[in-house]
Structure 1
Amino acid sequence: MTNAAPSGAWPVPLDPADAPVPRYGEASLADLMPTLAAGLGVPDLAATLPLEPVDRACVFLIDGLGWEQLREHPDEAPFLNAHAAAGSPGPLTAGFPSTTATSLASVGTGLPPGAHGLPGYAVRNPATGALMNQLRWQPHTDPHLWQPHPTVFRLAAAAGVHTCQVSAPDFAHTPLTKIALSGGTFHGRLSGEDRMDLAARQLGAADRALVYTYYSEVDGKGHRFGVDSDAWRGQLMYADRLAQRLAEQLPPRSALYVTADHGMTDIPFTPEARFDFDEDWELSAGVALLGGEGRARHVYAVPGAASDVLAVWRDVLGEQAWVASRDEAIDLGWFGPVEQRVYERLGDVIVAAADDIAIVATRTEPKESMLAGMHGTLTPREQLVPLIEVRS
Structure 2
Amino acid sequence: MTAPVIPAYGSRTLAELLPSLGAHLGVAGAVDRLGIAEAQRYVVLLVDGLGWEQRDWWQGTAPFLSDLADNAVPITSGVPSTTSTSITSLGTGLAPGEHGIAGYAFYYRPIGGVLNALQWAPGVHGLDVQPQLTYFERLGSAGVRTQAVCPARFEGSGLTTVALRGPGFIGVQDEEDHPRRVELARDAALSAEPSLTYVYERSLDHTGHGFGVGSPQWLATLARCDALASALREALPADVRLVITGDHGMVNVPVDERLLAEDEPGLLRDVTNFAGEGRLRQLYTVPGQVAAVARRWQDRLGDRAWVLTRDEAFDAGWFGPRNPRVADRFGDVLVAMQGSAAVMTRSLPKELTLVGMHGSLTAAEVAVPLLVA
Q: TM-score, normalised by structure 2?
A: 0.96
Give yes or no for contact 1:294–1:369 (8 Å, CA) kept in 2.
no
Q: What secondary structure sits across from 1:27 in the alignment?
A: coil
The separation in 2 between residues aligned to 1:83 and 1:127, in whole angstroms, is 45
> Which residue in 1 is equivalent to 2:205?
219
> Which residue in 2 is equivalent to 1:205?
191
1:179 aligned to 138, 162, 165, which one? 162
> Which residue in 2 is equivalent to 1:259?
245
Q: What secondary structure sits across from 1:283 in the alignment?
A: helix
| Paired AA for residue 354 in structure 1 | Q
The separation in 1 between residues aligned to 2:118 and 2:55, in whole angstroms, is 25
CA RMSD of aligned residues (A): 1.3
More deviation, 63-72/346-355: 63-72
> Which residue in 2 is equivalent to 1:361?
345
* Residue 41 (1) aligns with residue 48 (2): no
Q: Residue 355 of structure 1: CA displacement? A: 1.6
| Paired AA for residue 346 in structure 1 | F
Q: Which has the higher helix share?
A: 2
* Residue 240 (1) aligns with residue 253 (2): no
1:157-196 alignment runs, 5 A limit: 157-189=140-172, 190=174, 191-196=177-182
Q: Residue 140 of structure 1: CA displacement? A: 4.2
Give yes or no for contact 1:133–1:139 (8 Å, CA) kept in 2.
no
Q: Residue 284 of structure 1: CA displacement? A: 1.0
1:229-308 alignment runs, 5 A limit: 229-270=215-256, 273-308=257-292
| Paired AA for residue 98 in structure 1 | S
Deviations for 1:126-149, whole angstroms, at most 9, x for unmatched residues? 233200111222254221121011
* Residue 155 (1) aligns with residue 138 (2): yes
The count of residues paired between Structure 1 and Structure 2 equals 370
More deviation, 232-241/148-157: 148-157
1:17-32 alignment runs, 5 A limit: 18-32=3-17
Q: Residue 117 of structure 1: CA displacement? A: 0.7
1:65-84 alignment runs, 5 A limit: 65-84=50-69
1:348 aligned to 332, 354, 362, which one? 332
* Residue 315 (1) aligns with residue 299 (2): yes
2:37 aligned to 40, 43, 52, which one? 52
Q: What secondary structure sits across from 1:319 in the alignment?
A: helix
Give yes or no for contact 2:5–2:366 (8 Å, CA) kept in 1.
no
The separation in 1 between residues aligned to 2:151 and 2:4, in whole angstroms, is 36
Change (3 A) 1:140 1:21: farther
More deviation, 275-284/116-125: 275-284
Give yes or no for contact 2:281–2:334 (8 Å, CA) kept in 1.
yes
The separation in 1 between residues aligned to 2:288 and 2:211, in whole angstroms, is 41
* Residue 333 (1) aligns with residue 317 (2): yes
Change (3 A) 1:329 1:139: farther
Deviations for 1:181-231, whole angstroms, at most 9, x for unmatched residues? 121310011233322221112111222110000111100010001111111
| Paired AA for residue 306 in structure 1 | V
The separation in 2 between residues aligned to 1:369 and 1:305, in whole angstroms, is 29
> Which residue in 2 is equivalent to 1:129?
112
| Paired AA for residue 94 in structure 1 | S
| Paired AA for residue 290 in structure 1 | F
The separation in 2 between residues aligned to 1:114 and 1:215, in whole angstroms, is 26
The separation in 1 between residues aligned to 2:36 and 2:118, in whole angstroms, is 30
Give yes or no for contact 2:290–2:333 (8 Å, CA) kept in 1.
yes
The separation in 1 between residues aligned to 2:296 and 2:99, in whole angstroms, is 31
The separation in 2 between residues aligned to 1:183 and 1:128, in whole angstroms, is 27
Q: What secondary structure sits across from 1:105 in the alignment?
A: helix
Give yes or no for contact 2:50–2:247 (8 Å, CA) kept in 1.
yes
Give the share of equivalent positions with the same residue, in percent. Answer: 42
The separation in 1 between residues aligned to 2:323 and 2:94, in whole angstroms, is 11
Give yes or no for contact 1:108–1:180 (8 Å, CA) kept in 2.
yes
The separation in 2 between residues aligned to 1:201 and 1:94, in whole angstroms, is 29
| Paired AA for residue 229 in structure 1 | S
* Residue 95 (1) aligns with residue 81 (2): no
Structure 2: gaps (5+ residues): none
Q: Residue 70 of structure 1: CA displacement? A: 2.6
The separation in 2 between residues aligned to 1:139 and 1:356, in whole angstroms, is 35
Deviations for 1:271-315, whole angstroms, at most 9, x for unmatched residues? xx1011122112111111111000011111122221110110010
The separation in 2 between residues aligned to 1:300 and 1:207, in whole angstroms, is 48
Q: Residue 158 of structure 1: CA displacement? A: 1.9
* Runs of 4+ deviating beyond 3 Å: none
Give yes or no for contact 1:132–1:139 (8 Å, CA) kept in 2.
no
More deviation, 210-219/148-157: 148-157
